[in-house]
């Protein structure tokens, strides 16, 4: 049980590093053609950028399958990745981009700093010159935001 919790939380927190690197080097790199839709005004319910979420969902499902067929410990990894996906859904898609018509005005300092950090990311037009590639961990501004 302790090992399962360790795996769950390790994967959850590791996913922020994976997401940061994928956002900076893949989405703002060679797969900009998919991610660019995220930096343009929304024209419908879905955008090309949503393929990244679909990819990570498939990886999580593969971990669940491995947990069933190979070793149950993979299930804890799949749960950690899925929990990160739900946190991303809330903090990025709902809080930042008001997807699904949900508008939240955060009173919490952490949520406000996540929102501010993502606004800084979107302040630059195009793929170059952007900063703040994280999703759950806000970028530290020159002044303290915590």
In this prediction, what percent of the chain has a pLDDT beyond 90?
73
- Residue 36: φ, ψ to 5°: -55, -35
Q: What is the pLDDT of residues 93-142, one digit of tens each?
A: 999 999 999 999 999 999 999 999 999 888 887 888 888 888 898 876 54
Nearest to 19 by CA among 66, 65, 81, 103: 81
Q: Specify the pLDDT at position 146.
A: 39
Mean of the per-residue pLDDT values of the chain: 91
Q: Specify the pLDDT at position 139.
A: 79
Q: Where are the domains of the chain?
A: 2-102
- Cα distances from 77 to residues 68, 72, 96, 124, in angstroms, run 12, 9, 27, 35
Structure-block tokens of residue 91: 């903090």
Q: Specify the pLDDT at position 42.
A: 84
Structure-block tokens of residue 63: 């971990």
Q: Specify the pLDDT at position 141.
A: 52
In this prediction, what percent of the chain has a pLDDT beyond 70?
95
């Amino acid at each position: 049980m302790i090992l399962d919790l360790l795996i769950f939380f390790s994967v959850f927190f590791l996913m922020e590093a994976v997401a940061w690197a994928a956002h900076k080097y893949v989405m703002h790199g060679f797969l900009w053609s998919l991610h660019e839709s995220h930096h343009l005004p929304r024209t419908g319910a879905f955008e090309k950028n949503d393929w990244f979420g679909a990819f990570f969902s498939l990886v999580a499902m593969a971990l669940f399958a491995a947990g069933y067929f190979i070793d149950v410990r993979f299930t804890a990894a799949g749960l950690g990745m899925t929990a990160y996906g739900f946190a991303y859904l809330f903090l990025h898609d709902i809080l930042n981009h008001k997807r699904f018509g949900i508008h939240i005005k955060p009173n919490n300092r952490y949520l406000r700093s996540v929102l501010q950090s993502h606004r800084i990311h979107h302040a630059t037009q195009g793929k170059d010159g952007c900063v703040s590639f994280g999703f759950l961990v806000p970028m530290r501004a020159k002044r303290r935001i915590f």
